[in-house]
Amino acid sequence: MKMNVKFDFNTICKKVLEEQLNSLNINYRILNFGEIELLEKLSKDTEKQLRAKLDEYGIEVIENQKTALVQKIKDVIVDMIFSEEQVQVKASVYLAEKLGHSYGYISNIFSQVTYTSIENFIIIQKIEYAKQLLIIENLSLTDIAHRLNYSSVAHLSTQFKNTTGMTPSQFQKIINKRRDNIIKN
CA distances 74 to 47, 70, 114, 163, Å, are 25, 6, 11, 18
Q: Which of 18, 36, 61 is the endpoint of a domain?
A: 61
DSSP secondary-structure letter at 148?
Answer: T
Q: 6 and 25, same structural domain? A: yes
Domain containing 144 — which CATH number? 1.10.10.60
Q: 45 and 67, same structural domain? A: no
Domain count, the chain: 3
Partnered with residue 37 across adjacent β-strands are: 29
Q: 180 and 126, same structural domain? A: yes
Q: Which of 73, 98, 115 is the endpoint of a domain?
A: 115
pLDDT tens across the length of the chain (185 residues): 677 777 777 788 888 889 999 999 999 888 766 778 888 888 899 989 998 998 998 888 877 788 889 989 999 999 899 887 777 788 999 999 999 999 999 999 999 999 999 999 999 999 999 999 988 887 889 999 998 989 999 999 999 999 999 999 999 888 888 877 777 76
Q: Which of 61, 79, 103 is the endpoint of a domain?
A: 61
What range defines the domain where residue 34 resides?
1-61
Q: 127 and 110, same structural domain? A: no
Q: 68 and 48, same structural domain? A: no
Cα dihedral sign for 91, 93, 99, 101? positive
Residue type, 131: K
Q: 162 and 175, same structural domain? A: yes
Given this model, what pLDDT does residue 120 score?
95
Q: 3 and 52, same structural domain? A: yes
